[in-house]
Amino acid sequence: MIDRLNLWRSAVIIVIAAATALFAEPWDIRADAGEAGHGRSLQQLIDGTPAGGTLVLPEGEYEGTAAIRKPLTIRGTSDVRISGGGSDKPVIAIEASGVRLENLQISQMSKAETAAVLITAERTVIDSLRIDTRSFGIMLRDSGHNEIVNSVIRWQASPAKANQAKLSDKRNGIDLFNSHDNRIYGNSISTMNDGIYLENSHRNTVENNRIDHSRYGVHCMYTDGTIVRGNIGSFNVTGAMVMGVKDAIVSGNTFTKQSENVNSQGLLLFDVQTSLIEDNKVEGNRVGFYIEQSQRNEIRHNEVLQNFVGIQLLESEGNRFQENRFTGNVIESEASESSANLFISNIWDSFQGIDTDGDGVSNTAYAMNPFFQKLTSATPAYQLFFHSPGMLFLESMFTAGKEEWTVDKTPLMRSGDKPSAARTQETLTMLCAALLLTVSSITTIIYLGVRRK
């Protein structure tokens, strides 16, 4: 009887132990700190960590080109550096779903078409990585439902050399192809080719990232349902390049100082359909908004400030522009072959409207004269004569096809009836300049007349 009781007790203990192992928290494996500083193989540590476990790496250097083929977490405790050693393979390749990387520094020295981190699985979380690369930073291929957050990606060179290097020699910070439903949030990317590049990848969210000194800050190619929200781009060739896109939301972004290249724009839309562009700020760019071959988009509540050209429209129809503010741009607007758009209640800083009934809406329409755009498109050298007296005179005489010009029929009046002090000073300066030019011309004519006598 006692033997049977002991046997039952042993069986219960075995069952309890098995259940405890089954439902317990994943194991934590801590790498040996002494060996870690000597470049211990990361692959060996991964292989020694059970599926579902956590590998904690103490401070030190580790050899990369590791593949993760089971769900696990790798977490750095402080200064953890993982190097690819110049290999043409990824420093870390994630091939299993449910992998998480946290607080790691990754260095990719190779210039091959590879990445510091390659993801070909789903439900990966990349959190607080520092990546220095001479190729791609993070690459996603045929992947989905991943998160890339709070990470820093830089082209691996000193800041001076990084800015001097050719863009064609660089690769993209975060690069997606055929990868859907991912979230890219709170990252900082600098001196890459494209900061964040998405191709044939749908329903991704690109939010609250900072991108500078790259070609395109955010570059969307042939995507549907993309959300580009709250990002900040500066000193890129173009803040965001959105091309071949449907049903996108581009909102709350700030793109400033894209002006160092002749093709620089704050926000470029090419072949964009049925998308919402709202609450963005484009300031100090060569062109604020450039929109070409795009239809049926809603563009509203944007701030277009102090750009050389506020907005350029080319071969775009069926778009609705509502309550945007165009302030301090050298050229407020240019539109060519884009008459079938609806402009409602926008503010045009340079427009001198007339409000006879005091409702804040001008009783005269704002028309976009396409003369300068057409002239410089045919002969770019004529840009040298921008705002010259002769060019302004020719533009005022150009009224051919005026019924087809793009028009805002209900432009809003600027707040306040009286011009601002800055505008008053600008007006006085222009009058003085015109007076000096007139006096100079008369003096020259008199002088030449006297010499001939």
Sign of CA dihedral 151, 157, 159, 163: negative
Q: Which residues contact 218 (CB under 8 A, 6 or more apart)?
A: 194, 195, 196, 198, 206, 209, 211, 228, 231, 233, 239, 240, 241, 242
Task: Please give the pLDDT value at position 196.
Answer: 98
Task: Please give the pLDDT value at position 259.
Answer: 76
Q: Mean pLDDT, consecutive 10-residue segments, the chain of 453 residues?
A: 55 45 50 55 95 96 95 95 89 97 94 93 98 96 98 81 75 98 98 97 98 96 98 97 98 91 91 98 95 97 95 94 94 86 89 68 70 53 51 51 67 56 42 47 46 49
Intra-chain end-to-end CA distance of the chain, in Å? 143
Task: Please give the pLDDT value at position 253.
Answer: 98
Task: Please give the pLDDT value at position 425.
Answer: 46
Task: Please give the pLDDT value at position 335.
Answer: 87
DSSP state of 400: T
Which of 46, 52, 50 lies closest to 25 in space, CA to CA? 52
CA–CA distance, 7 with 34 (Å, rounded to integer): 46
**Cα dist from 265 to 87, 246, 285, 309, whole Å:** 37, 20, 6, 9
Q: Which amino acid is at 211?
A: I
Task: Please give the pLDDT value at position 370.
Answer: 58
Q: Is 216 within 8 Å of 206 (Cβ atoms)?
A: no
Q: What is the pTM for the complete model shown?
A: 0.80
- Quote the tokens at residue 270: 């090419």
Which of 300, 297, 303 lies closest to 284 in space, CA to CA? 303
- Quote the tokens at residue 309: 């050209």
Task: Please give the pLDDT value at position 263.
Answer: 80
**Cα dist from 299 to 118, 220, 252, 303, 325, whole Å:** 36, 18, 12, 11, 11
Give helix then strand counts, H and E, for the chain. Answer: 7, 42
